[in-house]
């Protein structure tokens, strides 16, 4: 038995080391493959200059702006909505409805992204074109609205989980003392659950940043730097998908590694932020 357990221990250790090394290797590979581009302009110019392959400019600045604005706007739209949904599921909804609603939200996470994009193409895009933004209807706002719907279930599930993790004895105490659901939420549950809520928010941001299909289908993919949310934009992820589909050896192709590096670093930063939030635990009320 000890031999078996020691072998297993080593296997798991190797698996852990392996996956850590793999993550590092991906980053090194991205840097290696993006090398010609860095030599061409340097990382600084790459991140700050426009995309204009005709004039030898392969900057990904427009895509960074596109990605960040779509991701942040979608989180901005989705956060209040998701938080409200979570409150309804944990505190305000009729008891019989709460579980059903949560199951519905869980189900929403399993709908393929392309379905959201497809539905939006037929319903949301014509609406935006006719009534709100004009143009083709493919723009930052359209993509952000749909992305908000896409990331909402993840955030709702995370929020509900952190609200429900507040010890039952505390919630019962407030109930038994004649506190209303709103008071329970405000005075006890939220002050204890906010690190979890912040975590859910960051995860939602990560998902929004990493999503490819919604922005590819709905944001319009223009390579100019957007100046308003009614304008079309291209995200880093959509850029990777678009360039990859067309080309293999050119400088354009190499620019996608810069996109990869930026996304990689952004995600790494998010994870660091998640870790830091995880350390915050409210000591008391």
Interface contacts to other proteins, rule CB under 8 A: 95-96, 98-99, 169-170, 172-180, 183, 187-188, 192, 282-285
CB-nearer residue toward other proteins: 23 or 180: 180
CB-nearer residue toward other proteins: 188 or 208: 188
CB-nearer residue toward other proteins: 5 or 281: 281
CB-nearer residue toward other proteins: 80 or 94: 94
Task: Decide: helix, strand or coil at residue 51.
Answer: strand
Structure tokens at 168: 């039952």
CB 153 within 8 A of CB 113: no
CB-nearer residue toward other proteins: 48 or 173: 173
Contacts of 278 (CB under 8 A, 6+ apart): 195, 199
Distances (CA, A) of 148 to 81, 142, 145: 9, 10, 5
Task: Decide: helix, strand or coil at residue 34.
Answer: coil
Distance (Å, whole) CA 81 – CA 188? 21
Minimum CB distance to other proteins, residue 180 (Å): 5
Minimum CB distance to other proteins, residue 193 (Å): 12
H or E stretch covering 52 = strand 51-52
Minimum CB distance to other proteins, residue 91 (Å): 11
Minimum CB distance to other proteins, residue 160 (Å): 15
Minimum CB distance to other proteins, residue 274 (Å): 24
């Amino acid at each position: 038995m000890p031999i078996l357990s020691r072998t297993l221990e080593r296997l798991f250790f190797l698996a852990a080391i392996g996956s850590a090394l793999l993550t590092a290797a991906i980053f090194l590979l991205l840097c290696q493959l993006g090398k010609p581009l860095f030599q061409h302009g340097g990382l600084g110019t790459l991140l700050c200059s426009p995309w204009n392959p005709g004039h030898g400019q392969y900057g990904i600045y427009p895509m960074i702006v596109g990605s960040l604005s779509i991701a942040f706007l979608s989180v901005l739209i989705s956060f209040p909505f998701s938080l409200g949904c979570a409150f309804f599921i944990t505190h305000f909804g009729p008891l019989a409805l709460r579980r059903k609603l949560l199951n519905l939200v869980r189900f929403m996470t399993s709908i393929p992204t392309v379905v959201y994009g497809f539905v939006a193409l037929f319903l949301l895009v014509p609406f935006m074109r006719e009534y709100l933004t004009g143009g083709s209807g493919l723009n930052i706002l359209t993509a952000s609205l749909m992305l908000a719907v896409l990331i909402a279930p993840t955030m709702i599930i995370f929020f509900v989980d952190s609200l429900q993790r507040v010890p039952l004895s505390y919630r019962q105490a407030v109930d038994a003392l004649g506190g209303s659901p709103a008071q329970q939420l405000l005075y006890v549950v939220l002050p204890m659950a906010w690190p979890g809520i912040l975590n859910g928010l960051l995860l939602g941001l990560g998902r929004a940043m990493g999503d490819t299909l919604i922005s590819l289908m709905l944001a319009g993919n223009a390579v100019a730097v957007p100046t308003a949310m009614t304008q079309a934009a291209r995200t880093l992820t959509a850029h990777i998908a678009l360039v990859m589909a067309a080309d293999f050896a050119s400088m354009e192709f190499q620019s996608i590694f810069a996109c990869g590096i930026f996304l990689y670093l952004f995600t790494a930063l998010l994870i660091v932020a998640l870790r830091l939030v995880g350390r915050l635990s409210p000591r008391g009320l």
